Amino acid sequence: MKRIFKLNNFGWIVAGILFLILAFKMTPKTNVLPSKNEVPTEAITPTETAKSYLVLVTKIIDGDTLMVKINDKEESVRLIGIDTPETVDPRKTVQCFGKEASEKMKELVENKMVKLEADLTQNDRDKYNRLLRYVYLEDGTLVNKKLIEEGFGFEYTYKIPYKFQVEFKEAQKLAEEKKMGLWADSVCPTPTIQKITPTIAKQQIETIKTTMDPIRIVQNNSGFVCDCSKACTKISSCEEAYFQLNDCVCSVRDNDGDGVPCESLCN
């Protein structure tokens, strides 16, 4: 009887070990973020927007462009949905509130860890090979939107609407109403082209068009000019169509109200 009791004890020990092994295998694994700068480049492509990682901001170029380090390689990042006054473009003079926008970006992210997020509606990179991204602080603040909210930049749509377009447009509208940053009285007495936005351009056009050819009211850096009488068949590109809709407030470009102008060009 004594011998049987010992065998039973041994059996219980074996069963306990097997139970612990099974419980360990069934425990769900948690995702662990890679350490600083150890971020696989393929993890931040537009096809994997759910995967976003913390990266180190190494340098601020201007209010809407920065440098980050990914896998010990520096990459240039252009913020989606915002355009700030120019400070470094050799083709242009420093624009009003450009330095303030750059300083604000430095205050927010320089030498800090940020989260990058791509947008499936946009290209992965722009024509200058910069990553197109939303930038988040570690506390979840969306930097792109914050800069617009505080009047350091303008909402900017490039060709097609992006994920947060409605939010960013509303953020700019509120910034204008509150006279934040560059929208404050007498801050920028000679507004940049971008400052003539849909929220104020409509009133400006109505005031001016009786005494001035509306074709010359607004002109952007791509050489496009406002002309609401211009048919879509005469418009050169989808980019120009968006310029006519967003910058010139030519609502005729979007008769069905879906936010896409001249659908023969932009679909």
Identify the active-site residue in 75, 78, 149, 253. Answer: 78
Q: Distance of CA 253 to CAs 97, 164, 230, Å?
A: 31, 21, 9
125 is catalytic: no
SS3 173: helix
Distance CA 241, CA 93 (A): 27
CA angle 254, 259, 262 (to 5 degrees): 40
Compute, in degrees rounded to 10, the torsion defined by CA atoms 132, 41, 119, 121: 90
216 is catalytic: no
Compute, in degrees rounded to 10, the torsion defined by CA atoms 146, 31, 75, 50: -60
SS3 200: helix
CA 204 to chain centre: 28
133 is catalytic: no
Parallel, antiparallel, or unpaired for β 73-79 and 82-83?
Answer: unpaired
Distance CA 250, CA 248 (A): 5
Identify the active-site residue in 110, 125, 130, 170. Answer: 130
C-alpha closest to that of 157 among 253, 227, 231:
253
Distance CA 241, CA 261 (A): 6
Identify the active-site residue in 75, 86, 149, 240. Answer: 86
* C-alpha gyration radius of the chain: 27
On whether the CB atoms of residues 246 and 218 are closer than 8 A, the answer is no
20 membership: H or E segment, kind and range = helix 2-26
Task: Name the residues annotated as catalytic.
Answer: 78, 86, 130
